[in-house]
Amino acid sequence: MKIADIKTHLLGHNLKRPFGFSQWYYSRRVHLVVEVLTDDGITGLGECYGPADTTRAAIDGFYKPRLKGLDPMRHEFIWNLLWKSSLDYARKGPMMAAISGVDLALWDIKGKALKCPVRRLLGGAPIGKIPCYATGMYFEKGISESRLIRKLLREADGYVRQGYPVIKIKIGKNPTFDRGLIRAMRKTFDHLRIAADANHAYNLKEALAIGHVLEENDFEWFEEPVSPEHYADYGVLRRQLAVKVAGGECEQTRFGFQQLLSRRSVDIAQPDLAYAGGITEAIKIHALANASGVDVIPHCWGTRINQAAAASFITMLHENPGRLEAGAALLEADCTENPVRDGLCSTHHEIRNGHIHFNHEPGLGVELDRKALRKFTV
């Protein structure tokens, strides 16, 4: 079996209502899906996280000529070939995201060729579901902060009613708002497990102050409190706060995570498989984290393809990944408006009652709806 062709699909959709976080607002969702086609008729699906048009150029113009004719089952060899061929100028950024998307597609091909789900190839636990946490509670323009807090509380209540055992709110709007939101969430949901994501909004002193509010209100973790470049500041926060410090969605490869881990910067490492190097590299990142006594909870943003990859990977992280317990590797479930995510795949793993339920299809367990693909193609 040989790689015959690679197709990239740039997909997008305008949102009915923009939503935002500490850095900017979204008015449109854009995704890059990768198809690796073989001469045996098997097609593997992958996805890239990050700037879709730039990443697409990296695949089409640089990596695709190097991939055609190779054996797709040799994913470790191919990963290293692509890494070394672009090492001088692509150790981080969109080109690594391109390698990530290709790697996910190769694992999908391997599973389909062997008629086996990827989670079984990874040696994952033979379970039917794993718990999710709901990511939402984004900011909205044009309303007062008091009204926004009330709106976010209603949104959170909706996720609780859907059965999510854990939710994650956005903070980083401003310190006064953040304190009010944190306290309102805990007062309203006294026993709910809640995490908070600042998307690197704060400097060190601000993060310490907000971190103390989070620990007073028994939050699960404090995600991306400061800029991802500030490893030492992460370490200060980890030492001085009782709440767990999480980060890594902006980090890539085992070499990048080694910087994060060797500085003892985080309690929870959060690689995104569509950005950090695919499943092949995520296995190595997990090994480093495990050796450092750090939990891994993948970041997951995009379509059902990346979601399937993250869920498959999670099954290998713990002995009982289907149980909700301390240190459990939860699947991040993006609950924001996203017609591409919800409509692109005709076959996928379904989220019900706050858990993702695996199907029994080989590979990643996802297939494209070609009509939807045409509808969302940019």
pLDDT digits (tens, 9 = 90+) for 332-350: 999 999 999 999 999 999 9
Is the model's pTM score more than 0.75?
yes
Instruction: With beta carbons less than 8 A apart as the criterion, state whether 307 and 356 touch.
Output: yes
- Boundaries of every domain in the chain: 3-116+371-376, 120-369
What integer pLDDT is reported at residue 125 of this predicted model? 84
State the pLDDT confidence band at 326, using cuts at 50, 70 and 90. Answer: low
Instruction: Encode pLDDT of 182-193 as tens digits.
Output: 999 999 999 999
Q: Which whole-number Å values give the CA distances from 376 to 220, 222, 372, in the listed order?
A: 36, 35, 6
Which residues are CB-contacts of 192 (< 8 A; sequence separation ≥ 6)? 160, 166, 167
Give dist(CA 113, CA 111) in Å, integer: 6
Write the DSSP string, 6-48: EEEEEEEEEEEEEEE-SS-EEEEEEEEEEEEEETTS-EEEEEE
Q: Tell me: the pLDDT tens digits for 80-105? A: 999 999 999 888 999 999 999 999 99
The stretch 281-308 carries a mean pLDDT of: 97
Q: What is the mean pLDDT of residues 105-120?
A: 98
The pLDDT score that the predictor gives to residue 30 is 97
CA angle at 275 for the pair 367 and 277, rounded to the nearest 5°: 95
Residue 321 confidence (pLDDT) above 80: no
Helix boundaries (H) for 165-268 = 175-188, 204-216, 231-240, 253-262
Q: CA torsion sign, 377 to 357 to 196 to 178?
A: positive
Q: Is the pLDDT of residue 322 over 80?
A: no
pLDDT class of 126 with cuts at 50, 70, 90: confident
**For tokens 């709910």, what's the residue?**
192
CA distance 344 to 338: 10
Residue 30 amino acid letter: V
**Predicted confidence (pLDDT) per residue in 206-239, tens digit:** 999 999 999 999 999 999 999 999 999 999 999 9
Which residues are CB-neighbours of 317 under 8 A, at least 6 positions away?
Answer: 286, 296, 329
Between CA 178 and CA 210 the distance in angstroms is 8
CATH entry 3.40.50.10490 includes domain 120-369: no
For 33, the token pair is: 């899906």
pLDDT in tens, 13-28: 999 999 999 999 999 9
Q: Which CATH number applies to 3-116+371-376?
A: 3.30.390.10
Report residue 1's pLDDT band, with 50, 70 and 90 as the boundaries: very high
pLDDT surpassing 70 at residue 311: yes
Inform me whether the pLDDT recorded for 117 exceeds 80: yes
Tokens for 44?
């593997």
More confident residue, 56 or 328: 56
- Mean pLDDT across 2-14: 97
Average pLDDT over residues 3-14: 97
Q: What is the torsion angle, in degrees rounded to the nearest 10, for the CA atoms of residue 74, residue 312, residue 256 and residue 48?
A: 80
pLDDT in tens, 278-293: 999 999 999 999 999 9
Helix (H) or strand (E) holding 222: strand 221-223
Looking at every residue in the chain, the average pLDDT score rounds to 96
- pLDDT value of residue 154: 98
User: What is the set of active-site residues?
Assistant: 299
Asked whether the beta carbons of 35 and 44 are under 8 A apart, the reply is yes
Please report the pLDDT score of residue 329 as a whole number: 76
Q: Report the run of H or E that residue 118 belongs to, with start and end.
A: helix 118-121
Q: Supply the pLDDT for residue 317.
A: 86
Could you give the angle at the alpha carbon of 136 between the alpha carbons of 327 and 180, nearest 5°? 90
pLDDT of residue 272: 98
